[in-house]
């Protein structure tokens, strides 16, 4: 081959060499999918202009797109980019996607059920947008998903029971939406679940007992919902002012006599049991109640139990719940009176609580544990106060 022929063939040789050393994008399927995704997320082509039909998603030119070693799109990170479009069903075409980060945008519309086809997805961050509609039940098919962030949107409807099938889930954040209905008991089947935040929704009913079976669960936040409990209602039934039955006094309200039924509803037990026990057993029980602070102060002078002594014990129980402590010290009581939350609210909450709720429960506990029996509310007044709105 002479020199002139070599020079003519050199560009072709260099081109072929480049092809052998540059991984090609996996067919045109990914590129077509990305173009559809772009059209949906950024219909005005304001923020994703770098996504072009002639480009290569895996050469670093597509903003927020990252590929794995096999030239498959594995990660889309577009958080806080000002996107105001919608989620595209075309996302499901990116079969090797492991991370989808679209939080802190202004996306609207719903979650396409097709996203459930992303069986390799590990992280789904759609929080802090304007997404709405129901959470698709099909998401339960995403076996690899570990983090589900849907908080601070406008989702409505119930929480799908199918989420309990996602065995690798460790974080579920659904707070600050418009979700309603009961808490799915199936969430208790999530063996890897560490954090479950359902606060600031419209959920009602009771906390399922199966949630206690989640071995890794460390944070459960259900604040500002309409979840129910039965302890004050049980006392109201015993005191029976509105019922055609004689009033009863429990005489032994304490945390050990609050039981949970199969639906995690708190129930009051051992009512009237003292009448069946020997005097020695009753005396031992009284000593334990006094040591824990449940015994009303007037019992020391009167030796009698009354409805007001039940109210006092209930107030101590409320103090124990909000403080996370078995014994409620006088200093903590003073802090509750002055609403110095840091000094009497359970430190395990790490400051994550509603101050209006804390003030409300502190007020109820303070009223119920008033030194003077006549100044304590009736149980009907307590129930009314508990059921009243915060504002």
266-268 and 258-260 beta bridge pairing: antiparallel
130-133 and 108-109 beta bridge pairing: parallel
Q: How far is CA 300 from the centre of its chain?
A: 45
Residue 17 located in a structural domain: no
Of 107-121, 260-274, 300-314, the range with the lowest mean pLDDT is: 260-274
Higher pLDDT, 184 or 257: 184
How far CA 81 is from CA of 84, 105, 107, 147, 308, in Å, comes to: 9, 6, 11, 21, 60
d(CA 168, CA 333): 43
Q: What is the DSSP string of 303-362?
A: ----HHHHHHHHHHHHHHHHHT-SS--HHHHHHHHTT-GGGTS-GGGTT-S-HHHHHHHH
Residue 24's pLDDT is what? 42
**Nearest partner of 382 among 320, 259, 370, judged by Cα:** 370
pTM for the model stands at 0.59
Dihedral sign for Cα atoms in the order 15, 20, 21, 25: positive
Strand partners, 147: 123, 171
Question: Of 208, 227, 246, which marks where a domain is finished?
Answer: 227
Residue 359's pLDDT is what? 85
Residue 13 located in a structural domain: no
The model's pLDDT over 38-62, given as tens digits with 9 standing for 90+, comes to: 999 999 999 999 999 999 999 999 9
Strand partners, 156: 178
Question: Of 181, 200, 227, which marks where a domain is finished?
Answer: 227
Mean pLDDT of the chain: 78
Considering the domain architecture, whether residues 327 and 250 belong to the same structural domain is answered as: yes
The model's pLDDT over 198-225, given as tens digits with 9 standing for 90+, comes to: 988 988 877 776 776 778 887 777 777 7
Residue 71 located in a structural domain: yes
Q: What is the CATH number of the domain that holds 45?
A: 3.80.10.10
How far CA 246 is from CA of 249, 309, 314, in Å, comes to: 10, 17, 21
Considering the domain architecture, whether residues 41 and 115 belong to the same structural domain is answered as: yes
The highest-confidence range among 94-108, 202-216, 229-243, by mean pLDDT, is 94-108
Range(s) of the domain holding residue 335: 231-387
User: End-to-end distance of the chain based on CA atoms, in angstroms?
Assistant: 92
CB 220 within 8 A of CB 171: no
Question: Of 227, 243, 277, which marks where a domain is finished?
Answer: 227
For residue 111, what pLDDT band results from cuts at 50, 70 and 90? very high
Tokens representing residue 284 in the block: 């031992």
Count of domains forming the chain: 2
Considering the domain architecture, whether residues 103 and 208 belong to the same structural domain is answered as: yes
The model's pLDDT over 366-386, given as tens digits with 9 standing for 90+, comes to: 888 888 889 988 877 877 787
Considering the domain architecture, whether residues 310 and 324 belong to the same structural domain is answered as: yes
Of 85-94, 208-217, 357-366, the range with the lowest mean pLDDT is: 208-217
Considering the domain architecture, whether residues 123 and 252 belong to the same structural domain is answered as: no
Considering the domain architecture, whether residues 165 and 115 belong to the same structural domain is answered as: yes
Considering the domain architecture, whether residues 263 and 195 belong to the same structural domain is answered as: no
d(CA 188, CA 253): 29
CB 270 within 8 A of CB 252: yes
Tokens representing residue 312 in the block: 């006092």
The region that residue 47 occupies, defined by phi over 0 for left and psi between -120 and 50 for alpha, beta otherwise, is alpha
Considering the domain architecture, whether residues 211 and 286 belong to the same structural domain is answered as: no
Residue 243's pLDDT is what? 44
């Amino acid at each position: 081959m002479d020199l002139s022929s070599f020079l003519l063939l050199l560009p072709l040789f260099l081109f072929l060499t480049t092809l052998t050393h540059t991984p090609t994008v996996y067919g045109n399927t990914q590129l077509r999918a990305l173009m559809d995704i772009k059209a949906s997320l950024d219909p005005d082509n304001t923020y994703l202009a770098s996504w072009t039909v002639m480009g290569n998603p895996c050469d670093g030119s597509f903003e927020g797109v990252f590929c794995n070693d096999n030239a498959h799109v594995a990660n889309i990170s577009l958080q806080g980019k000002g996107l105001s479009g919608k989620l595209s069903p075309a996302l499901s075409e990116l079969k090797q996607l492991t991370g989808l980060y679209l939080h802190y945008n202004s996306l609207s519309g719903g979650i396409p059920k097709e996203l459930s086809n992303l069986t390799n997805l590990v992280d789904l961050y759609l929080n802090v947008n304007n997404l709405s509609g129901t959470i698709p039940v099909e998401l339960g098919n995403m076996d690899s998903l570990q983090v589900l962030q849907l908080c601070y949107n406008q989702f409505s409807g119930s929480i799908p029971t199918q989420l309990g099938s996602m065995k690798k889930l460790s974080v579920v954040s659904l707070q600050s939406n418009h979700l309603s209905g009961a808490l799915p008991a199936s969430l208790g089947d999530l063996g890897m679940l560490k954090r479950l935040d359902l606060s600031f929704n419209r959920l009602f009913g009771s906390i399922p007992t199966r949630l206690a079976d989640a071995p890794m669960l460390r944070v459960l936040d259900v604040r500002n919902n309409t979840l129910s409990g039965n302890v004050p209602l049980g006392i109201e039934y015993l005191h029976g002012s509105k019922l055609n039955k004689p009033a009863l006094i429990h005489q032994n309200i304490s945390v050990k006599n609050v039981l949970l039924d199969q639906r995690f509803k708190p129930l009051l037990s051992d009512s009237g049991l003292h009448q069946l026990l020997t005097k020695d057993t009753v005396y031992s029980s009284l000593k334990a109640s006094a040591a824990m602070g449940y015994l009303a102060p007037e019992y020391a002078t009167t030796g009698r139990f009354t409805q007001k002594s039940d109210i006092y014990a209930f107030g101590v129980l409320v103090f124990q719940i909000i403080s996370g402590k078995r014994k409620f010290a006088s200093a903590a009581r003073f802090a509750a009176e002055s609403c110095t939350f840091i000094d009497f609210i359970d430190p395990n909450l790490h400051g994550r609580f509603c101050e209006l709720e804390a003030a409300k429960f502190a007020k109820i506990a303070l009223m119920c544990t008033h030194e003077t029996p006549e100044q304590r509310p009736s149980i009907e007044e307590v129930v009314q106060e508990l059921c009243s709105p915060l504002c």
